[in-house]
């Protein structure tokens, strides 16, 4: 529990005192019912992270200057298919991070690809990536991005390679397939829906899965067009209405 998803401890503590439980999916609601949470306290609303994502994208569409800091980088990689990468999970520190770096180097060997990697400030991440990737012309190891710039990066990417949790929800909302560099995920709904795929940290498997999606339009479209199970951007509205009714 504390290795793969330590945030679950916080949810359990908060859930013990909660009167209302807002589940992002039916799978999450079923998990609450299995913990003996009364069904009338559980409401499936979607995840507010999708609300934030879609609202931010809409603002960027109206005001491109909010994410203009990526202009030089995207111009540099014009004509290439962008692979957006994030990696920071503790369980991948050490050999896992090195394997991820080696995989990214293998992906970057393709002339039609560019990798954009906002590098987590944790030294376990940076020290693994820079020696292997720092000198590659089509790999950009950049500082962490604020949210508008990260949303723009997701929008510009062909696909996403990550060990993050939230990105497994965000990228599919923009039609981007997600390859998850973990052996398990606390978001199984994405795997079941086909928007995400577990690839672990084996270098050869990561490279093979990336190349398969880049070279097989049918495989790519099957993931890109799969239904995103995590929400439609209206979770906050639903939550507000439920809270209002509960306090009348």
The CA distance from 89 to 33, in Å, is 29
* pLDDT of 2: 46
Mean pLDDT of 56-60: 98
Residue 17, pLDDT score: 77
pLDDT tops 70 at residue 83 = yes
The domain ranges of the chain are: 68-224
Q: Average pLDDT for residues 203-212, to the nearest whole number?
A: 97
Give me the residue label for tokens 């906050």: 236
Top CATH class, 68-224: alpha beta
pLDDT score, position 89 = 83
pLDDT-based confidence at residue 5 (cuts at 50, 70, 90): low
DSSP strand pairing (178-180 vs 159-162): parallel
The arithmetic mean of pLDDT across residues 197-218, rounded, is 96
Structure-model confidence comparison of residues 127 and 247, the more confident one? 127
* 133 close to 109: Cβ distance less than 8 angstroms: no
Question: Confidence band (pLDDT; 50, 70, 90) for 67?
Answer: very high
State mean pLDDT over 122-127: 90
Cβ(59)–Cβ(148) under 8 Å?
yes
The rounded distance, in Å, linking the Cα atoms of 128 and 203 is: 14
């Amino acid at each position: 529990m504390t290795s793969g998803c330590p945030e679950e401890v916080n949810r359990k503590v908060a859930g013990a005192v909660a009167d209302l439980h807002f589940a992002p999916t039916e799978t999450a609601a079923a998990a609450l019912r299995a913990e003996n949470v009364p069904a009338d306290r559980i409401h499936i609303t979607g995840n507010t992270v999708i609300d934030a994502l879609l609202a931010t994208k809409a603002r960027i569409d109206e005001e491109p200057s909010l994410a203009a800091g990526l202009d030089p980088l995207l111009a540099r990689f014009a004509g290439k298919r962008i692979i957006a990468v994030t990696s920071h999970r503790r369980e991948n520190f050490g050999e896992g991070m090195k394997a991820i770096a080696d995989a990214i180097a293998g992906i970057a060997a393709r002339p039609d690809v560019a990798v954009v990697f906002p590098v987590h400030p944790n030294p376990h991440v940076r020290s693994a990536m820079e020696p292997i990737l720092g000198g590659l012309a089509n790999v950009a190891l950049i500082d962490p991005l604020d949210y508008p710039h990260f949303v723009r990066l997701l929008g510009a990417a062909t696909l996403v390679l990550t060990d993050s949790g939230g990105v497994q929800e965000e990228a599919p909302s923009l039609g981007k397939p997600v390859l998850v560099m973990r052996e398990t995920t606390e978001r199984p709904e994405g795997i079941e829906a086909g928007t995400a795929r577990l690839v672990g940290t084996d270098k050869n498997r990561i490279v093979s899965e990336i190349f398969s999606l880049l070279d097989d339009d049918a495989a790519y479209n099957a993931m890109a067009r799969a239904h995103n199970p995590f929400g439609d951007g209206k979770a906050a509205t639903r939550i507000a209405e439920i809270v209002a009714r509960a306090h009348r």
